Structure 1
Amino acid sequence: MAGIYIHIPFCKQACHYCDFHFSTSLKKKEEMIAALKTEITLRKTEFENSPVETIYFGGGTPSILSVAEINDLIQQVYAHYTVVSNPEITLEANPDDLDTDVFEQYKAIGINRLSIGVQSFFEEDLQLMNRAHNATEAEKCIREATVYFDNITIDLIYGIPNMTNERWLQNVQKALDFGIPHISSYALTVEPKTALASFIAKGTVPDVDDAVAQEHFYLLVDTLANNGFIHYELSNFGKPDYFSKNNTAYWLGKKYIGIGPSAHSYNGVQRSWNIANNTKYIKSLQEGILPAEVETLTLTDRYNEAIMTGLRTIWGVSVNRVQQEFGDTCHNYLLEQAAKPVEHGLLALETTPHGTVLKTTAKGKFLADGLASDLFLLNLEETAE
């Protein structure tokens, strides 16, 4: 199975924390949609033997497109790829773009999963982040969405300056009160060259506090666990049967194609990424040229990615797979490097019917990325010699 990600590089306005690729100008929207359709066509041979199981519209803000424009892109995929009978088709959307009429239209064109960028239910948080919607729109949108869609996920951000534990828990409780079956939650990070970074440097906004973010994280984990959610990936929580198929495929190393400017792709051996420039992307596709750079992954890259993605998930890192795929030297290195964090209760070795698995413990979950980096190899090719 495989997935297709379609990047829609347009937004109404720039969120202060965002460093994703997008434009607030819609002047080139028609040309962009034509270019996206061309790229979908040009890359059809990459999935000749792999049925498409998921189609994911990300951004940017995909809901800024009309229903007809989104449907054109979906139909382009169906015209050139083998698609399973009931694919997961996800659309990222902002609350200010959603109303009763559009929900019905989305369902009619095959969208069956909504990812709603709420971020917070509190006005002061939304204003600090420069979100396009307000708190009232966030609640109204979700109330209406649950009438038409069962499979909904919302984004929530924790560690926001001046956010108390009480307000964070109220955010989480509001999501639970709406019966949302999936939540993606991220710590607010300060990316270089963003408005937020500038405000913090000038002292007009307090800096983020890692200790506060960690406290919010564990409050989230405990609250959602008590409400039947499974913490299946570091930033993702789902009720049974509501895990994101698109994201799960990514973490398990399945193939995917990224369509659109700045989009990334992976085929098991190579990674590629499109140019992050709308004008150059469009011009290249008008000439029938794929505007991508390609990197062939080394054994080191593949090992490190297996460690990074594995430790972020409930499935962990298969120690047996490491031995089979990367050899005894790498297998021994992994166990040696893991010994201290296992001793400190941050990692655990579990015996399963399929062999030994290395996982983060409850204590180590928030530190998953740092723990993974401690297990990385710098040059597996030399180590294996």
Structure 2
Amino acid sequence: MSGIYIHIPFCKQACHYCDFHFSTNTSLIEVMVDMILRELELRKDFLPLSNPIQTIYFGGGTPSLLTVHQFEKILNQINKQYSLEVKELTLEANPDDLKKDKLKDLKSLGFDRLSIGIQSFNQRVLQFYNRAHNAQESMVAVDLAKSAGFEKLSIDLIYGFPHEDHSLWKKDLSLALQIDPGHISSYALTVEPKTALGNWAKKGKFQEASEDFQAEQFEILMDEMEKSGYIQYEISNFCREGQFALHNTNYWKSVPYLGIGPSAHSFDGKHRGNNLANNALYIKKLEKEELAYQQEDLQEEDLANEYILTSLRTIWGLDQQKLLDEFGIDLQLEKGKLLKELESQELIKQDAGHIYLSRAGKLLADSIAASLFI
């Protein structure tokens, strides 16, 4: 099985924390759609025909800016060029784009999962982030999506907004669980250098929350999700039984995927690469029937380390037999002493050849993974 990711690099306005590739010059949307159609044709052999496409994911940017007709063109091209056994068709969307008629049309095109970028239910926080929607639109969008027949819904929330206590975050979680979307993805507010927040921090106009404050909010998140019956199947992702995001799960399980559009990444199982993160250059290349793709040849240890990093973040854990079979790495031989230390510190658990992060270990996931790298 494989997946296709379509990156739509346009937004109405720039969120102050976002460092994903996007442009607010939406006049290029139509020509970008045409170039995405062209890239889909030029790269139809990237994934083997024996590996049918099971997930399609529209991300961005703000892909919900596209018209229903533009989505239809892209989906028709995928259907024409690729072998399909689609089990999940996801659209990332902003609440203000999800109107009743559009939701109905999206459902008719085959979209069965929405990932809604809510981030916060607090109006002051949304304004600080420079989000295009307001708090009320978030609640309405989820209700409309449910009414339109979308049974698979996910919402994004950001924790770690600087505040004197955790009341804002607790209120966000309470409202999120009140609407009960079935899937919640939650990430810490990160100050990236090339964002408005990064610029303000550099000038001393913004002070991000401390690591301890963010860790406390992450623990509150885990507590509330567990009490409400949500499964933490990946460090930042929680869902009710049967609501796992198939497309993202495949990323974490190293399943091959094709990325289309500016800045999109691809992975064929052995090689990773990305398209140019530049709309004008991407369009210029495709207009000349050239790809804007740059490939990175990964060494065996790179692939092994990626597996260690991603698998430890999940409920399925790190399969030591897989490391041995696919990469020739005996982790007990290589890192046995360290594994015993981590286990004695109650940061990991070992069971039936698998390694899992404990609750305390989840707070140190990246550093634990790095310590196990080959």
Q: TM-score range by the shorter chain?
A: over 0.9
Task: Compute the displacement of 1:370 (Å).
Answer: 1.4
Task: Compute the displacement of 1:202 (Å).
Answer: 2.5
- Which AA in structure 1 matches 2:362? K
Q: Report the equivalent of 1:146.
A: 146
Moved more, 218-227 or 252-261: 218-227
Q: Report the equivalent of 1:14.
A: 14
Instruction: Tell whether the 8 Å contact from 1:21 to 1:60 is kept in structure 2 after alignment.
Output: yes
Instruction: Tell me if 1:121 matches 2:136.
Output: no
Which stretches in structure 2 are left out of the alignment for 5+ residues?
none
Task: Compute the displacement of 1:200 (Å).
Answer: 2.0
Distance 1:43 1:300 in 2: 27
Provide TM-score, normalisation by structure 1: 0.94
- What is the SS of the residue equivalent to 1:46? coil
Q: Report the equivalent of 1:367.
A: 364
Distance 1:163 1:224 in 2: 23
Cα shift readout 1:203-231 (whole Å, capped 9, x = no counterpart): 32222221111111111111111111110
Provide TM-score, normalisation by structure 2: 0.97
Cα shift readout 1:44-87 (whole Å, capped 9, x = no counterpart): 11232211000000000000111111111111111111111x43
Instruction: Tell whether the 8 Å contact from 1:88 to 1:113 is kept in structure 2 after alignment.
Output: yes
Q: Report the equivalent of 1:267.
A: 268
- Which AA in structure 2 matches 1:364? G
Instruction: Tell me if 1:291 matches 2:292.
Output: yes
Distance 1:295 1:363 in 2: 34
Q: Report the equivalent of 2:5.
A: 5
Distance 1:288 1:90 in 2: 28
Moved more, 45-54 or 158-167: 158-167
- What is the SS of the residue equivalent to 2:132? coil
Instruction: Tell whether the 8 Å contact from 1:323 to 1:331 is kept in structure 2 after alignment.
Output: no
- What is the SS of the residue equivalent to 1:334? helix
Distance 1:56 1:94 in 2: 15
Instruction: Tell me if 1:337 matches 2:338.
Output: yes
Q: Report the equivalent of 1:41.
A: 41
The one of 368, 371, 376 equivalent to 2:373 is: 376
Task: Compute the displacement of 1:164 (Å).
Answer: 3.2
Instruction: Tell whether the 8 Å contact from 2:265 to 2:272 is kept in structure 1 after alignment.
Output: yes
Cα shift readout 1:268-296 (whole Å, capped 9, x = no counterpart): 10001000000110111111111111112
Q: Report the equivalent of 2:30.
A: 30
Distance 2:323 2:162 in 1: 41
Output the aligned Cα RMSD: 1.3
Instruction: Tell whether the 8 Å contact from 2:323 to 2:330 is kept in structure 1 after alignment.
Output: no
- What is the SS of the residue equivalent to 1:314? coil
Distance 2:215 2:152 in 1: 28
Q: Report the equivalent of 1:381.
A: none
Identity, % of aligned pairs? Answer: 44
Instruction: Tell me if 1:216 matches 2:217.
Output: yes
- Which AA in structure 2 matches 1:24? T
Q: Report the equivalent of 1:322.
A: 323
Task: Compute the displacement of 1:180 (Å).
Answer: 0.8
Instruction: Tell me if 1:82 matches 2:83.
Output: yes
Distance 1:363 1:333 in 2: 24
Distance 1:112 1:232 in 2: 21
The one of 347, 355, 359 equivalent to 1:358 is: 355
Q: How many residues align?
A: 372
Moved more, 135-144 or 233-242: 135-144
Instruction: Tell me if 1:306 matches 2:307.
Output: yes
- What is the SS of the residue equivalent to 1:116? strand
Distance 1:329 1:234 in 2: 25
Task: Compute the displacement of 1:363 (Å).
Answer: 1.2
Task: Compute the displacement of 1:330 (Å).
Answer: 4.9
- What is the SS of the residue equivalent to 1:27? helix
Distance 1:126 1:151 in 2: 25
- Which AA in structure 2 matches 1:129? Y
Distance 2:4 2:153 in 1: 19
Q: Report the equivalent of 1:95.
A: 95
Task: Compute the displacement of 1:331 (Å).
Answer: 4.5
- Which AA in structure 1 matches 2:19? D
Instruction: Tell me if 1:240 matches 2:237.
Output: no
Distance 1:249 1:347 in 2: 23
Distance 2:106 2:213 in 1: 38
